[in-house]
Amino acid sequence: LQTRMQSLQPDPKAQYRSVYEALKKIVLTEGFWRPLRGINVTMLGAGPAHAMYFACYEQMKKSLSDTIQHGGNSHLANGIAGSVATLLHDAVMNPAEVVKQRMQMFNSPYKSVLACVRTVQKTEGFGAFYRSYTTQLTMNVPFQAIHFITYEFMQEQINPRRDYNPRSHIISGAVAGAVAAAATTPLDVCKTLLNTQENMALSSVNISGHLSGMVNAFKTVYQLGGVPGYFRGVQARVIYQMPSTAIAWSVYEFFKYFLTKHKLDKRT
């Protein structure tokens, strides 16, 4: 839904006023499973990407907090650790995101994930899978910095003892995801344009060939939609991110608690 709603020059058959209307229209005209198209490639990349992401975050947060605040909880350390972890995460997820978004566009010519990978590789080269990587990082570094700082801040407010508390992890994760998603929507719109290389949008501003680079994407979005263009799909993005970050944090905190408890039980 987010990919469709961020389309800057959508096909008349793919114009939507709200998230609910978009979902209803896609299901009725394109089938029940259409909104989930490309999810398999995302799931394939998500496992290793998140494993590296949380491992890197924990290690860096601990090291930097010891240095900056002598074992205390430093928001600066949380932000830096989240930003560095993003570099590893996005290196894995960027190609998966390119394939997913191309498959989710209206009238997508790709029949399967493999067909999409082969066609993009053949016609645009390997670089196409990383064309939006710098934009992705420019978006995700502030996103993750805001995300981790907000999560840790929320934990300080509602779970100061840092016990394993599923309710507090779900609330903190949801709030952190919503705040970070809303703040970084303009960058996400630019990333979607770079990933999909929307033909109708690019030709309407006389761009031939492929659009590359974040500065060009920012200019093109402004040409096509003005300032409101930067906030296309903000509602869909926040709705998507809130359960996503809430689930990610509650699962992560559960395994962290479970493994720590198991380690302590073994020692005693």
The half-sphere exposure of 102 on its side-chain side, counting CA atoms within 13 A, is 25
Residue with structure tokens 């919503």? Answer: 178
When pLDDT is averaged across residues 3-14 and rounded to a whole number, the result is 60
Share of the chain above pLDDT 70, in %: 81
Mean pLDDT, all residues of the chain: 81
Question: Per mean pLDDT, which of 5-19, 75-89, 181-195 is the most reliable?
Answer: 75-89
Q: What's the pLDDT at 71?
A: 64
Q: What's the pLDDT at 238?
A: 93
63 token code pair: 């090291």
Angle 37-39-41 (CA atoms, 0-180°, nearest 5)? 115
Judged against a pLDDT cut of 70, whether residue 170 lies above it is answered with yes
Query: Nearest CA to 35 among 83, 74, 1?
Result: 1
Residue 24 CA to residue 18 CA, distance in Å, equals 10
Q: How far is CA 91 from CA 36, 75, 192, in A?
A: 23, 25, 17
User: What sign results for the dihedral spanned by CA atoms 130, 132, 138, 141?
Assistant: negative
**Residue ranges of domains in the chain:** 238-267
Q: What's the pLDDT at 101?
A: 79
Q: What's the pLDDT at 254?
A: 93
The pLDDT tens digits for 202-229 are 777 767 667 777 788 888 888 888 898 8
Q: How far is CA 47 from CA 35, 54, 96, 251, in A?
A: 21, 11, 12, 13
The pLDDT tens digits for 40-60 are 666 676 778 888 888 899 889
Residue 231 CA to residue 86 CA, distance in Å, equals 23
Judged against a pLDDT cut of 90, whether residue 12 lies above it is answered with no
pLDDT band at 13 (very low <50, low <70, confident <90, very high): low
Q: What's the pLDDT at 178?
A: 96
Q: Which of 2-11, 107-116, 187-196 has the lowest mean pLDDT?
A: 2-11
Burial class (CB in 10 A: 0-12, 13-18, 19+), 227: exposed
Residue 46 CA to residue 252 CA, distance in Å, equals 14
Judged against a pLDDT cut of 70, whether residue 38 lies above it is answered with no
Count CB atoms within 10 A of the CB of residue 107: 8
Share of the chain above pLDDT 90, in %: 20
